[in-house]
Amino acid sequence: MPLSVPALSVAAALAFYVLRSGVLRPYIKFIWHCFIRPIGLDDQKARLNEFYQGQADVYDATRNGLLRGRNTMLSLSAAHLQALRAASPRKRLIWIDIGGGTGHNIELMDKHMPISSFDAIYLIDLCEPLLDIARKRFAKKGWTNVTVLCQDASEFNLPEWASGKDPKGSVGFVTLSYSLSMIPGFYTVLDRIDHVLCPQDGLISVVDFYTAGKQPSLHEKAIGGASKECGWLSRWFWQIWFDFDHVSLSPARPSTAENRFIVPFIVRIPYYIWLGRSRSCDVSRACHAFEVEGGNMVGNCSPTPLKAVKEVDELAVPSLQIGEPILELQPQTAIDITPPFSSFHYHINSPWRLPYYEHPVHKEFRTFIYSFTWEDPFEDMKRLDLSSKDSMFVITSAGDNALHYAVAAGPERVSALLHQGHLMELKLAAIQCLDYEDFFALFGQGQHRNFRGLLDSKIAPYLSSSAYQFWRINSNSFSSSFYLRGYSGWALRLAGYIFRVAGVSKDIEALCNADTLAQQEDIWRRKLRPVLLNPVVVALLKNPVFCWNALGVPLNQRKMLLDEGGVYEFIRETLDPLASAYLFKTDNYFYLLALMGHYTPASCPEYLTRSGFNKLKANNGKALDAFRLHTDSIVNVLRGLSDGSLTRGLIMDHLDWFTSGSSEVDEEVAELHRVLAVEGSVFWRSAARKPWYNASFERQGFNVTALSVRQGPNTTIDRVNMYASFWRATKV
């Protein structure tokens, strides 16, 4: 249907306004100079001047959507600089922004770290039209510590070096924001940066366009880059497109930073972010590289000191076979991660996470299954007899219990094994750098309005690259209730739905706010028990798919449970005695969380209490230094520990997961016997009253003792009461 005269008039008026207002002018200039107007000069400086001369005034307005990741790179850099320099507050800080053009990065950095905190800032670029914009920008800001230099990046020379003094190690911070891909002789530039960057706490940060090869290299596989390649259309389209403008997107450029990042789109240009240090850095403080970001994905990168491609030998990457020890830890001494292992680990002052290697076993743990821990650490502490001289091996689940042991006893070493270690690492980092209110908002209330801001500005310097990337992708985990995320969150959401349908939501609140056990038991018996012990819920809990994906109960453990009785009996024996034994409001945070979706200050794990948090944070987080986080199979981790180096081991219900009679259990128990000192003990829980694998411990020479066994629906064995038995095996 043709447009009416009034509609045509409005459209014409709108078009006239747009053209007259100049709204499209920047984009028209951008399109003309970038996509239509040819560039025929061979000289790099002349080509840059000609390319930007007609569009310098609209450069910033037209690049915000194209040059993505700059704000993230600067936010991360500011956090790292502040953490790195905390120990040397009086040291002179110089920042060189190579290829900084209009000075946009420097102005943007002022939002994350005051420009006044730098002793000197040098913007180096070869393009005078862009530098003219920068000079006007800085003059308007009144920044007297910023100097603009028109120089070739491969030969940059600061005025303060004019005295002839060797500038080696004199620079604290270098950035290359979408400039590395435009520098023809980038090897020389990186060598120059490496020479002037301070080896103690210097930082280099890069954000740039990215492309990748068709197949991941050996090096890429070792750093976690496999299965993250650019799609063929994206890979070739952008490389050919940018070649017209003399911008190189060859895979060699990210390799100089030993980084591999992959993004499968074409519409938005792939890019990467990389933070690192000089290859001459002080290895006692752990050389590192850091985050990679692009599009909607964050890929892994190699935490390796800055090296030029000519020095990278992919075949020299350590190739550890399954079962080969990664490190042999001596619990009585602090561990320094030194090359080659520092090439695969990042930290500043917190050596929690040991090198992370992608492994087929990790595929089941792409997210966290358990957002909280179901084992009762108060019962553990009655049996463990822990002291500050003990060295522990623990399976940590969500990490709540391991942190409880650190608060209650402060053991010398906690070797923690976890396939969802990113969660434990986040908790350690958050304790180290956040105040109590922010920390409790994250892990007590389970939500924080500004988790992404905290992640980039405070937490990032204390995370390994793998953990940062995981939480960058899952930054919405704390937008609502964190405890409704992960596989276990499905169970809590389903329970909430069942309560709403049954009309007992208010009764749930009343139960969790009851002041006496009598009130609590009355609400349970009259209102909630009929809902949870009805045939529909029982049938759901019988389903093996639901058991694994919602409750984290594998098939073998489910079979052990059913061999000793039905699902109805299990639920009844678990829940019936709890309401009359522990007050949820103050003394049973496990079920308070399950029913309410969050903790309260009066009912929460010990590490979430203000006193527990302060104890872990005291003396710059000294108690956290005990942790070493492993991400591998239990047997592989145990093989890397010395004979007799452990005094305690807690393996939760892990052995329930194996098929009855499995030889893998015998192998694991043998390793536990080797690494435990004489009189050392290992503890476990089971869904069975007498698990089949107890015999394996006895064959290895352990003295096995039942600490508690569930005896029906009238008594509890702990605050959770979900396991049928609790065991100890002592090496004699």
Lowest mean pLDDT among 9-23, 391-405, 558-572: 9-23
Say whether 184 sits in a helix, a strand or coil.
coil
How far is it, in rounded angstroms, from Cα 331 to Cα 327? 12
For the segment 327-338, what is each residue's pLDDT rounded down to a tens digit? 222 222 222 222
pLDDT classification of 226: cutoffs 50, 70, 90: very low
pLDDT classification of 606: cutoffs 50, 70, 90: very high
Lowest mean pLDDT among 61-75, 402-416, 644-658: 61-75
Q: Tell me, yes or no, if the two domains 70-316 and 341-426+604-731 fold the same way.
A: yes
- Bridge partners, 150 (sequence order): 125
Which stretch, 363-367, 451-455, 532-536, 636-640, has highest mean pLDDT? 451-455
* Higher per-residue confidence, 150 vs 21: 150
Q: What is the mean pLDDT of residues 119-130?
A: 91
Q: What confidence score (pLDDT) does residue 419 get?
A: 60
Q: Report the interhelical angle of 436-443 vs 610-621 (nearest 10°).
A: 120
Contact 370, 487 (CB under 8 A): yes
Retrieve residue 84's tokens.
């790195």
How far is it, in rounded angstroms, from Cα 380 to Cα 382? 5
Given a cut of 50, is residue 339 above it in pLDDT?
no
Domains in the chain: boundaries: 1-37, 70-316, 341-426+604-731, 490-596
Q: Which residues of 235-246 are buried (b: 16+ CB within 10 A; e: fewer)?
A: beebbeebeeeb
For the segment 556-597, what is each residue's pLDDT rounded down to a tens digit? 777 777 777 777 888 888 899 999 999 999 999 999 999 999
Q: What confidence score (pLDDT) does residue 383 get?
A: 95
**Cis amide linkage into residue 184, ω under 30° from 0:** no
For the segment 208-221, what is each residue's pLDDT rounded down to a tens digit? 876 555 555 444 44
- Bridge partners, 708 (sequence order): 726
Percentage of the chain modeled with pLDDT above 70: 68
Q: What is the mean pLDDT of residues 680-700?
A: 94
Q: How far from the centroid of its chain's Cα atoms is residue 501's Cα? A: 37
Using CB atoms within 10 A of its CB, is residue 564 exposed (0-12), middle (13-18) or buried (19+)?
middle
In terms of residues, how long is the chain?
732
How far is it, in rounded angstroms, from Cα 51 to Cα 59? 11
* Higher per-residue confidence, 601 vs 271: 601
CATH class of 341-426+604-731: alpha beta
As a whole number, the mean pLDDT across the chain is 76
* Higher per-residue confidence, 121 vs 180: 121
pLDDT classification of 91: cutoffs 50, 70, 90: confident
* Higher per-residue confidence, 7 vs 639: 639
Q: What confidence score (pLDDT) does residue 298 get?
A: 28
Contact 693, 666 (CB under 8 A): no
Q: What confidence score (pLDDT) does residue 289 get?
A: 38
Q: What confidence score (pLDDT) does residue 159 get?
A: 92
Retrieve residue 254's tokens.
């990210």
Q: What confidence score (pLDDT) does residue 513 get?
A: 96
Q: What confidence score (pLDDT) does residue 310 get?
A: 26
Given a cut of 90, is residue 181 above it in pLDDT?
no
Q: What confidence score (pLDDT) does residue 515 get?
A: 96
CATH class of 70-316: alpha beta
How far is it, in rounded angstroms, from Cα 280 to Cα 201? 11
Given a cut of 90, is residue 603 above it in pLDDT?
yes
* Higher per-residue confidence, 306 vs 438: 438
Q: What confidence score (pLDDT) does residue 65 get?
A: 55
- How many other CB atoms sit within 10 Å of the CB of residue 493? 16
